[in-house]
Structure 1
Amino acid sequence: MEQNCNHGNASEYTLYEPERSEDVMSALNKMRKKGHLTDVTIEARGEVFPCHRAVLACSSEYFKAMFSCNLKESSKGVVTMNDIDPQILHLLIDYAYTSSISINTVNAQTLLEISNRLQFANITQACCKFLQDHLDPTNCLGIWQLASTHSCNDLARSSFRYCLARFQEVCQLDEFFQLPANQLEEYLSHDALVVGCEEIVYHALLAWILHNDNRKCYLEKLLLRTVRPLYLSTNFLLRQLESFIIKQSLQCYDQLHMAITQQKLYVQSQTYIDRPKPRLSTMSDVMVIVGGSGSNHSEERDVRYYNPASETWRSLSSLPKGMSGYSVAVLENDIYVTGGKQERAVSSCILRYSSSTDTWSSLPDMRSPRQFHGSVVCDGMLYVVGGENAGKLQRDVERFDPKTNIWETVTQLACAVSSPAVVTHKGKLYIIGGYTSDLLSYPCIQCYDVKTNKWKVTAAVQINSRHFPAVVIGNLIYILDCYGQRGIQVYDPDRDVCLTPVSMKSERHLFAAVALNNKIYVAGGMQNFLPLDTIQVFDPLTAKWKNAGRMPRALRAHSCGVTIKKYLGPPFNG
């Protein structure tokens, strides 16, 4: 036994034994097991547990309140808890004396329930962590229900996310068929339910209904609230109208028939349908080109999206006004257009395109007018960087909070540049190249950490030109430097090194580029001063290019390419 002795002066001696508290608890535990000096007995289903009130009170707020307040248990020698499993109670009492408990797949859920009730906070937290680490399709619904019932909010959220992500497995298992109607509704109605198509949700609901004859009364309510018939194929809907279970319910029949009518109206008129929203998992990534410059240098207002699966284009609502030199970014699947030149004046305006309603709206202006700038979204905020106004470069970096609709200036560029390529990666902004006040190409990358508010400038990449886009795929930044054998510079920001460059398929300038399905799509631009309408795609895994169709018209589309998620299934089909 080690002893710390403090000889502060000749008449004082301090003995300190840090291990003594452990020895005391060990002695108390031995006394408990022999029934020595115990002052309360916990009884559960015929089993008795002699204990020390003070020890239980130190581990459990429940017992502390019981033995401290004017409750009858505070003076009784026996506390009866017949609604608690004696084995679980034994584990909790052992923990109170030893600070040790074994959690496993057999006892974790019951242990969480009882420890939460008896307010053994550390055990409840440990059980939540254990259950979160052991989620699988066979138990996730039960854990979600348990966590929700006992207000274990973090576990409830994580287990529900797991249930949503693994729906197509979960809906085949017993736990799914045991769900009560209210939780089934919450589950099946969620936007984030991961399914390949809406038919899967419809089949899952009917399977739950038919699992028990007493559930047929729920069909009308749950079909209305969980399934989105507009996104079922027309042929599927027609087959369901002939099914016996649907024919039994006039309301269900009418709902499915109405969906067919709405689909026909859309096909005939191309009227935009925004309710109900499609499931997020049924939406596909598409490339959107916002405006750009036509063959006669006109300011185009068209907004179109490209479906890489079908290599086809469709139109979205046009820009409210003609403009040039603006920047585009995507925040929560909406497109933000900032600044640019309108009617010969540099603007500070911001326009937002709502992907759910196909409409444009105006938002509060930026603090400074600017054109030829970059914009990017990081941690739910929209940042604008660089650019110019009246021939003067803009050094301020502004940030827009969509929750408050407020702009603020957060920092300044290490070097003011116009027309930089801007991307974000792991909470940092990368402002790549651009040109300086003396119209020279800026040869470096300026990196801004939004959390630390610090800048780092790197010259790891050889940047000798300007007016080029950049995209992020995985952990690499691809800088599309126009043409030639070094057409794509590949930068690893984690290691701050430039990897082997990649050749462009053909020369082009002032083009749009996006990362889509882990590939790089380039569209439009110009070659030998003539606008292009070609689309090419580069696969980083194979390092090969291929042609991918054509644009509706030739377009110089520098800085006008973004990706959003769009529903492409029935009745829209592309």
Structure 2
Amino acid sequence: MAAESRILQPPSPSSLALLRHFPPSQKVQWVEESPTAGKQRDPRVLQERRVEACGGVGLGAGMRERKMSAGACTAFHGLCPEGKLPNAIISVDGIEFPAHKTILCNCSPYFRALFSSSWSSAEKSVYKIPGTSPEMMRLLIEYAYSGTVPVTADNVVSLLIEADQFNVLGTLRVCCEFLKAHLCLENCIGIWKFTGYYYCPDLREEAHQFILHHFEEVTRVSTEFLELSIDDLERILEKEELPVTEEVVFNALLKWVAHDLQTRRQHIVVLLGKEGWRIGQKGFFFFK
């Protein structure tokens, strides 16, 4: 994966809040088949995703999270292959999840690498996993067994990050599809910037195209537009698919510069001059 070949920087706080415009009560479950879940089915059916209404509330912190994580362990036993006892324990912050190495390996290259490095030690069964939370690990393991993962506005950002980290591609794909379906004027820039940190090329392109084709509306209502860096702004303006007039671009640039006048005023001539625009009809002249 491309995500493995570069050092990822943590997303900005604005990126983590990119879904703040979703209705708080909205809970949607996106279902994706994992490689090991269920019976053999028609390959065409495996490509389908079902969207179902999902009730319930988000998890609280502390004891409630620990309680649910511990309860999930019992559920995993019910999903285990008949007659096969768990041969691994995934430990996250003291919460333990019994699992089968084969099932986790089929779901994730990360677990294949983790377990293969210890095959020579038959006694090795407990694997402490840093850098994640018990709740996120519970969702990833449940996906490996059941082929479903509940994705909501509350958990999609964290779940996408963890799915990318552990190379659980099915879960990563579902998170990306969820974000694609919820692109809007207010969050499209945040999603586009967010996907620069993780391996989501299709989602990144979808968000970019959304920005280009709704550029005028985005610049009017999106606070994220005002926070764009000069480099990101140039990436948007240089695209030939940008279907707006020069006046729209000019007004958007003035708005962007005015947001941080002292720092950005130097860029206005460079941005306009780069394209060699001459907006003569409106009385604005800019030359290379």
TM-score (norm 2): 0.61
TM-superposition CA deviations, 1:430-479 (whole Å, max 9, x none): xxxxxxxxxxxxxxxxxxxxxxxxxxxxxxxxxxxxxxxxxxxxxxxxxx
Residue among 219, 230, 238 paired with 1:181: 230
TM-superposition CA deviations, 1:5-50 (whole Å, max 9, x none): xxxxxxxxxxxxxxxx869xx9871379xxx95633332xx45232
Residue among 72, 84, 98 paired with 1:51: 98
| 1:500-519 mapped onto 2 (5 Å cutoff) | none
Equivalent AA in structure 2 for residue 156 of structure 1: R
Shift of 1:133: 1.9
| 1:484-503 mapped onto 2 (5 Å cutoff) | none
Q: Does 1:29 align with 2:76?
A: yes
Shift of 1:63: 1.3
SS in 2 for 1:193: coil
Equivalent AA in structure 1 for residue 154 of structure 2: V
The runs of 5 or more residues in structure 2 that have no matched partner are: 1-36, 40-72, 80-84
Q: How far, CA to CA, are the matches of 1:106 and 1:135 in structure 2? A: 15
Q: 1:193 corresponds to which residue? A: 242
Q: How far, CA to CA, are the matches of 2:174 and 2:129 in structure 1? A: 26
Q: 2:197 corresponds to which residue? A: 149
Residue among 130, 135, 147 paired with 1:99: 147
| 1:167-566 mapped onto 2 (5 Å cutoff) | 167-172=215-220, 173-195=222-244, 197-212=245-260, 213-225=262-274, 228-230=276-278, 232-237=279-284, 256=286, 258=287
Residue among 34, 57, 60 paired with 2:108: 60
Shift of 1:221: 3.6
**Alpha carbon RMSD of aligned pairs, Å?**
3.4
Shift of 1:79: 2.1
Residue among 138, 148, 165 paired with 1:117: 165
Q: How far, CA to CA, are the matches of 1:175 and 1:93 in structure 2? A: 35
Shift of 1:102: 0.9
Equivalent AA in structure 1 for residue 263 of structure 2: N
Q: How far, CA to CA, are the matches of 2:166 and 2:248 in structure 1? A: 42
Equivalent AA in structure 2 for residue 189 of structure 1: E
Shift of 1:176: 1.2
Preserved contact between residue 76 and residue 99 of structure 2 (Cα < 8 Å): no
| Distance of aligned partners of 1:180 and 1:40 in 2 relative to their CA distance in 1, 3 Å threshold | farther
More strand by share: 1
Q: How far, CA to CA, are the matches of 1:208 and 1:167 in structure 2? A: 13
Q: How far, CA to CA, are the matches of 2:158 and 2:107 in structure 1? A: 19
Q: How far, CA to CA, are the matches of 1:191 and 1:179 in structure 2? A: 19
Q: How far, CA to CA, are the matches of 1:42 and 1:224 in structure 2? A: 57
Shift of 1:164: 0.6
Q: Does 1:89 align with 2:137?
A: yes
More helix by share: 2
Q: 1:438 corresponds to which residue? A: none
Preserved contact between residue 132 and residue 159 of structure 1 (Cα < 8 Å): yes
| Distance of aligned partners of 1:27 and 1:86 in 2 relative to their CA distance in 1, 3 Å threshold | closer
State, as a whole percentage, how many aligned pairs show the same letter: 26
Equivalent AA in structure 2 for residue 151 of structure 1: Y
Q: How far, CA to CA, are the matches of 1:210 and 1:49 in structure 2? A: 53
TM-superposition CA deviations, 1:398-424 (whole Å, max 9, x none): xxxxxxxxxxxxxxxxxxxxxxxxxxx
SS in 2 for 1:144: helix
Q: 2:14 corresponds to which residue? A: none
Preserved contact between residue 87 and residue 125 of structure 2 (Cα < 8 Å): no
Preserved contact between residue 60 and residue 121 of structure 1 (Cα < 8 Å): yes
Equivalent AA in structure 2 for residue 79 of structure 1: K
Shift of 1:77: 2.8
Shift of 1:144: 2.1
Equivalent AA in structure 1 for residue 172 of structure 2: T
| Distance of aligned partners of 1:91 and 1:236 in 2 relative to their CA distance in 1, 3 Å threshold | farther
Q: 1:164 corresponds to which residue? A: 212
| Distance of aligned partners of 1:222 and 1:70 in 2 relative to their CA distance in 1, 3 Å threshold | farther
Q: How far, CA to CA, are the matches of 1:86 and 1:115 in structure 2? A: 14
Q: Using CA pairs below 8 Å that are at least 6 residues apart, which structure has the higher relative contact order?
A: 2
Q: 1:130 corresponds to which residue? A: 178
Equivalent AA in structure 2 for residue 236 of structure 1: G
Preserved contact between residue 40 and residue 51 of structure 1 (Cα < 8 Å): yes
Q: How far, CA to CA, are the matches of 1:124 and 1:192 in structure 2? A: 28
Equivalent AA in structure 2 for residue 52 of structure 1: A
Equivalent AA in structure 2 for residue 183 of structure 1: D
Q: How far, CA to CA, are the matches of 1:207 and 1:47 in structure 2? A: 50
| Distance of aligned partners of 1:190 and 1:85 in 2 relative to their CA distance in 1, 3 Å threshold | farther
Q: How far, CA to CA, are the matches of 1:221 and 1:42 in structure 2? A: 53
Paired residues in the alignment total 210
Q: How far, CA to CA, are the matches of 2:140 and 2:154 in structure 1? A: 16
Shift of 1:157: 2.0
TM-score (norm 1): 0.33
Q: How far, CA to CA, are the matches of 1:219 and 1:42 in structure 2? A: 53
| Distance of aligned partners of 1:49 and 1:194 in 2 relative to their CA distance in 1, 3 Å threshold | farther
- When Rg is computed on C-alpha atoms for both structures, the one with the higher figure is 1
